[in-house]
Chains A and B, each alone.
Chain A
């Protein structure tokens, strides 16, 4: 249990570092394309973090939230509830992926249009343009 907990904390810490790197890309890279790539890395990291938070420790192993015995006996359901991982973060992440897709899509089309009209995706040059 101690080893498992230690490894889990390392995974979570590496996700925090990954978030920081992605935010660094969003803040400092001048290219809009690189900003969008950093944004997708950031959202994927946060989604993975949500999935990990829904994980649980079960003996001998946790199982996915899918009932496999049909019809389920009450004994099986008790075992299922005591071992299955949390389905709620998974459902929320499914939503987050769809919404994130729509956001990335909108940003990509805007960037494409900026490139077509101004011939550059560098924010330093775009911000200096007039008209």
Chain B
């Protein structure tokens, strides 16, 4: 697969000015920041304690006291969503970190060395891609036991080949440029060139992929905890809340609606942010305006 990498040529202030005119970016940015803030607030304060069960208040619909209603143990859904945000974000973010930290150097290395190293790495990539990600995540959590940490590993491992592939494709598009030849003519080693010239030029690409994988990580975490393989009770998680809601759909639909909306809004925000960044920094979109 070849990839065309356009290198934006703009100053920071110019980029910022454009960012604020980009609806997708602004919306995505606001949503993302909002979710992050909610997650942080949940450490300090939630409307109700999510570990205390108040059976008297069980499965109540949305009201002034409980905006999003309560679950079958009488816990406040809004509070659970706030605490659940923490879990979702932590899992997805660390998984992106694992993917980038391992995948990007591997991809950049493969592109710089080429030949057998490249071929071998790409074959390993093919191998990982051959396993449906969720299936493997289930197997991994089955081996190491369910839990947030293992969910991170399971999701993180599948981020590695994604970032390796993007970094490699990006780097391969940068390597034939004349400024790389000029750097080689200045006697720089391929590692130096990768760090000084290649990585900064594919940073945008990686940033956009990062937001995509972040969003996918949130979805994957929700899926795993829905299956009971993510964060364990009493720690609230969005996926687990949906599992609990499923059998009570008829009597308490709000138990399913609000956690699902939380997932949708978070993922939407991240995707918009990624789209916005790509849009702002991609000179092609500028040309067409």
Does chain A bind chain B?
no
| Interfacial residues, chain B to chain A (CB-CB below 8 A) | none
